Structure 1
Amino acid sequence: MKRYLKYLWLMLPIIALAACVEEYSLEGNPPTEAEANFSFQPTATSNNILQFTADNEFFIMNWDLGNGASGTGKTVTGTYPVAGTYTVTLTVFNNAGNVSFSKEVVIAETDPLLLDKPLFNALTGGASATEGKTWKIDATRPGHFGLGPNPSAAGDFPEWYAAQANEKEGSGMYTDRYTFFLDGFNFKMETNGFVYLNGAQGSNFPGAFDPGVGDLSAPYEAPDNLKWSIVEPEGAYPELTISQGGFIGYFAGTRTYQIIKIEENELFLRMVDQANNDFAWYLRLIPEDFDPGVEPEPEPEPIDPKEFRIESLIGDGTKTWKLKPAARAFGVGPRPGSDEFFPNGNDISGDRACLFNDLYIFGEGGVYTYDPQGDIFAENYMGTGSEGCQPASNLVGTPGEAWGPGTHTFTLTEATETETAKITVTGTGAFIVLAKAFNDGEYGAGPPVANRSVTYDVIDYVNEGGQEELTISINVNVAAGVFWTFVLIPDND
């Protein structure tokens, strides 16, 4: 009996603790406004850059900084280049609920130094552009509007669909204008009567109708006093947000756009479809008064038939090639040799080392071997469950298993006076560099088509001064003009 009493005595603290936990979970109180109070003060950099600090610590602490930016945690920093009154709100959470507390922040003077930013100047024309800078959809350029996966697979460009020049004529997209002012971060949207929108958004626009070019158009007049704001998340694209009632180009339920590229005469935006988060839409704009011109189709240049022959590809019997570890050696764009869509002049050989060490071996008798050297750059279509560099063995047992190491066949169609040379690889899962690309298409998922042939155009070949480079290209979307280009060099290791 004494033994049982001893054990009972030892258990009492645990029983008491359990009782306390139960009492806390049943009777805990949500935070009060007073507990969500915060203070702020200017930083040493500028009176217009403020540091906000919460009075208390909570499990979740979310900030709305009143300038289009947000933050989390006990301490955040907000930037306010323009004089005015801003409402800052802190929302805190505990196990029993949440509460929000707001304060008005008065910025006495505009800080011109905070406004003089390359990003702001490119968007608005800068402080000297008192009438702002007006943008329009670049209607004459293929790929000015399009669709790709979210998250992006090959890069941030309209991988799935790219509109042809003037394809959406009559939708309202090409007649709308968007003016950004640096002064007061004002934004003006001129709809000229109607706008273009995603089919899933029709119920939000009375009078929506079929414009005959896909999706919907609707009569719409944008409100006055619209604003724009930009936040620059660390390690991510800048995000441009238009205030309620305004949007750019094509309404897919959002007013926030990632700025993929911005230059004096080009603005390239990405937005996530709010009706289907697996979709990302793309818009390319140019200044209203900018004439992009029309580049004439280049005349085909005669090709020296001796420029690239079978001996160039297989050497003395077997020759191994790999991607050149340099910028523009791997990319996709609107024409052969272009990487304008991705990665736009950036050298990604360090980020994707497992792609740049792959070997492509051509031998006598039309034997072609793919050797990934133990690792691959996997994407979702392969079915490995994750993207990025990983062991090639991860393909085993997946729909993309045939895209792993293997031996296939190849043929070379040598160049003529008017036609470039062509390399064709044949076999289930046969490819050069990019598994998903085939002639006039891309795989969205495995497995690859059995015994498929994929043909690549030889668009350049240089062999002089001890330097040898082979550039090949493949058109994956004939209608939209989407080309992948790869620059190969011999593997002399």
Structure 2
Amino acid sequence: MKRYINFISTILLMAFVWTGCDTEDPELGPAPTSEQVQFTMQPDADNPNLMHFISSSPGFKAIWDFGNGSSATGKEVTGAFPLKGEYTVTLTIFTEGGYAANSKTVTIQNTNPLMLDVPEYNLLTGGAEELAGKTWVVDKENSGHLALGPVGAYTQEWYSAPANSKSAEGLYDDEMTFNLDGFAYTYKNNGNTFVNTNNLAAFGGAGPDDATMPYTPKTGLTWSIVEEEGKKYLIISNGGFMGYYTGVSRYEILKLSENELYVRHLNANVAEQAWYQRFVPKGYSKPKPPKPYQVADLKEDFDEAGTIVWQTDQVKFNENYDNPAPLAPNKSAKVGQYIKQEGQAHEFDNLYTTLAYKMDLTSKNKIKLKVYMPSYNDYVTENGEGWAIKNLLKQVSVKLQNSEAAEPWANQEEVKQEVTKLNEWVVLTFDFSEAAARKDLDRVVIQIGGEGNFIPGIFYIDDIELTQ
């Protein structure tokens, strides 16, 4: 088995043409002809899907194209043909006078399944059991899914795309499917492709910036994996490419696992550029690392920058509002203005913050805040859901939730406090000591005026803090 796999990873070298000469050099000989390009081929005695080739041609270099996406160099080489079929093998020789090529057809009678059971093949395609192949997409949810660095170093020091930063381009909807059957490669771009500025001419465009260009992908493409000087390369046939177009079809594989394909490729028109792309299987999202569990640091007085980043759910909230009654117990200059709007769309208005950690409530488990309820709100009119108290409530509710739950409210911890005094600041304490055993809470919700009613209201809050 190891012998078969080693033959599959053949060496790919770029051909070059010897053109320069000096007036003092000896006179060059005549260019070779295709008739001079001769070679023999013989199947391996143990495995007929391995073919040994020997060149009997003149010249100082012999380069082989096996017609299956792989290549080799040298007078004597071996090509691996795991799939049945006919392959056009081309030998190109180089002499002092020039170069020439000749081809022969290799017929492989049967597919050798053992030669297809290669780890890289299985990871890329899903293996022989995945008849439809494996589809990869750009890893848009993570930074660095498209990056740029110098050719001479494996660093992305010049550019690294933030997560979802190319959502306006024709990149995130591209799908690249690799199939083990026939080594087929299918590129689906939904009508357009994101193109490097220096390669726009191939699409009929012009710079100065990268652009999304209309493009119909080629069909009948194949893929191969070759090894060169200890590095593995993924090669797409006939000018095919993956994702961001830089004019190349050859991708160095930096990492290939079940859920990640990370490649490095050059720019056909900018010699110093090395581009990086990350792909993940279609439908896959990388699991997020668990949040740490720690004592929460919650403090907000609206006069200075606090530790809370506020988010709103329908409610209107002003974090820099002049105190409507700067009297004891709250003489601060600035407070938060909370406006519950009218109508059914605002029956669940609230203010919340989602923390970067899970709350340790074993020692600090009480949330204190000050609230000011104006008497001009309508606390009498009834209009709301049948299951709810239909009037605007003189009430503040604080809820602790697990933001990562499918329905964060379903298993929340809630403490409600009634406000008995209007037109003055009232200090409220919300005791969550009974929830101290929970380790999944990372969201704090403040809801004023009740829920399920359609009545609007204006309220003010200040000095929010988690204490012992």
Question: TM-score, normalised on structure 1?
Answer: 0.52
Q: Which residue of 1 aligns with 2:37?
A: 36
Please say if 1:242 is aligned against 2:236: yes
2:182 is paired with a residue whose SS is: helix
Give 2:222's aligned residue.
227
**Superposed displacement of residue 32, structure 1:** 2.9
After superposition, the C-alpha distances for 1:276-315 in whole angstroms (9 at most, x for unaligned) are 121110000000021214446657899xxxxxxxxxxxxx
Matches for 1:372-387 after TM superposition, within 5 Å: none
List alignment gaps of at least 5 residues for structure 1: 1-21, 303-493
**8 Å Cα contact 1:208-1:217 kept in structure 2:** no
Residues 137 and 285 in structure 1, CA contact (< 8 A), matched pair in contact too: yes
Q: Which amino acid aligns with 1:282?
A: Y
Partner of 2:252: 258
Corresponding position of 2:264: 270
1:215 aligns with 2:216: no
Instruction: Give 3-state SS (helix, strand or coil) of 1:159's partner.
Output: coil
Distance 1:301 1:241, change over 3 A: farther
User: Relative to 1, partners in 2 of residues 1:201 and 1:298: Cα closer, same or farther, differing over 3 Å?
Assistant: farther
User: Which deviates the most, 181-190 or 43-52?
Assistant: 43-52
1:71 is aligned to 2:79: no
Pair 208,186 (structure 1): closer, same or farther in 2 beyond 3 Å: farther
Give, as a single letter, the amino acid of the residue that structure 1 aligns with 2:157.
E
Alignment of 1:130-279 (within 5 A): 130-152=131-153, 156-206=154-204, 215-236=210-231, 238-279=232-273
Aligned counterpart, 1:325: none
Aligned to 2:101: 100
> What is aligned with 1:80?
81
Structure 2 vs 1, CA of residues 299 and 250 (structure 1 numbering), >3 Å: closer, same or farther?
A: farther
> How many pairs are equivalent?
274
CA 1:82 to 1:99, structure 2 compared with 1: closer, same or farther past 3 Å?
A: same
Q: Are the counterparts in 2 of residues 208 and 219 from structure 1 also a CA contact under 8 Å? A: no
Shift of 1:26: 4.2
Give, in whole Å, the separation in 2 of the partners of 1:65 and 1:87.
7
The alpha carbon displacement at 1:234 in A equals 3.9
CA distance in 1: counterparts of 2:87 and 2:174, whole angstroms: 30
Structure 1 counterpart of 2:280: 286
Decide whether the 8 Å contact of 2:54 with 2:76 is kept in 1.
Answer: yes
Percent of aligned pairs with the same amino acid? 42
Q: Is the 8 A contact 2:58 2:95 kept in 1?
A: no
> Aligned partner of 1:161: which letter?
Y
Q: For the Cα contact (< 8 Å) 1:134–1:179, is it kept in 2?
A: yes
Task: After superposition, give the CA deviation of every residue in 1:431-469 in whole Å (9 maximum; x if it has no partner).
Answer: xxxxxxxxxxxxxxxxxxxxxxxxxxxxxxxxxxxxxxx
Q: For the residues of structure 1 that align with 2:76 and 2:279, how far apart are their CA atoms?
A: 37
- Give the structure 1 partner of residue 377 of structure 2: none
Q: Any conservation in 1 of the 2:37–2:92 contact (CA below 8 Å)? A: yes
Equivalence map 1:260-409=2 (5 Å): 260-295=254-289, 298=292
Q: Partner amino acid for 1:278? A: E
Matches within 5 A, 1:407-486: none
Task: Give how far 1:204 is off.
Answer: 1.0
After superposition, the Cα gap between the structure-2 partners of 1:27 and 1:136, relative to the gap in structure 1 and judged at 3 Å, is: closer
SS in 1 for 2:173: coil
Question: Take 2:295 and 2:144, find their aligned partners in 1: how far apart are those partners?
Answer: 26
Structure 1 position 39, deviation (Å): 0.5
Structure index of larger Rg? 2
Determine the structure 2 residue equivalent to 1:432: none
Q: Aligned partners of 2:164, 2:251: CA distance in 1, in Å? A: 23
Task: Render the CA deviation track for 1:83-135: whole Å, top value 9, x for unaligned.
Answer: 11111111112222221111111111111111010000000000000011000
Q: Report if the CA contact (8 A) 2:54-2:75 is conserved.
A: yes
Task: Indicate how the Cα distance of structure 1 residues 97 and 235 shifts in structure 2: closer, same or farther if over 3 A, else same.
Answer: same
Q: For the Cα contact (< 8 Å) 1:132–1:179, is it kept in 2?
A: yes
Instruction: Output aligned runs, 1:47-58, within 5 Å.
Output: 47-58=48-59
Mapped to 1, the partners of 2:204 and 2:197 lie a distance apart of 13
Letter in 2 for 1:273: N
SS in 1 for 2:47: coil
Going from structure 1 to structure 2, the CA distance change for 1:273 and 1:301 (only over 3 Å counts) comes to: farther
Partners of 2:98 and 2:283 lie apart in 1 by 53
The change in CA–CA distance for 1:277 and 1:45 in structure 2 (over 3 A counts) is farther
Residue 116 of structure 1 corresponds to 117
User: What is the RMSD of the two structures over their aligned residues, measured on CA atoms?
Assistant: 2.5
With structure 2 as the length reference, what TM-score do the two structures score? 0.55
| Larger helix proportion of the pair | 1
| Cα separation, partners in 2 of 1:166 and 1:295, compared to 1, 3 Å | farther
Q: Which amino acid aligns with 1:225?
A: G
Q: Which residue of structure 2 aligns with residue 126 of structure 1? A: 127
> Distance between the aligned counterparts of 2:42 and 2:123, measured in 1?
31
User: Partners of 1:103 and 1:300 in 2: how far apart?
Assistant: 70
> Quick check: 2:253–2:261 contact (8 Å CA) kept in 1?
yes
Tell me how far apart the structure 1 counterparts of residues 179 and 229 of structure 2 sit (CA, whole Å).
Answer: 25
Structure-2 separation of matches of 1:157 and 1:27:
44
Hey, what's the Cα distance between the residues in 1 that align with 2:164 and 2:290? 17
**Structure 1 residues 157 and 80: alpha-carbon distance in aligned structure 2, compared to 1, 3 A threshold:** farther
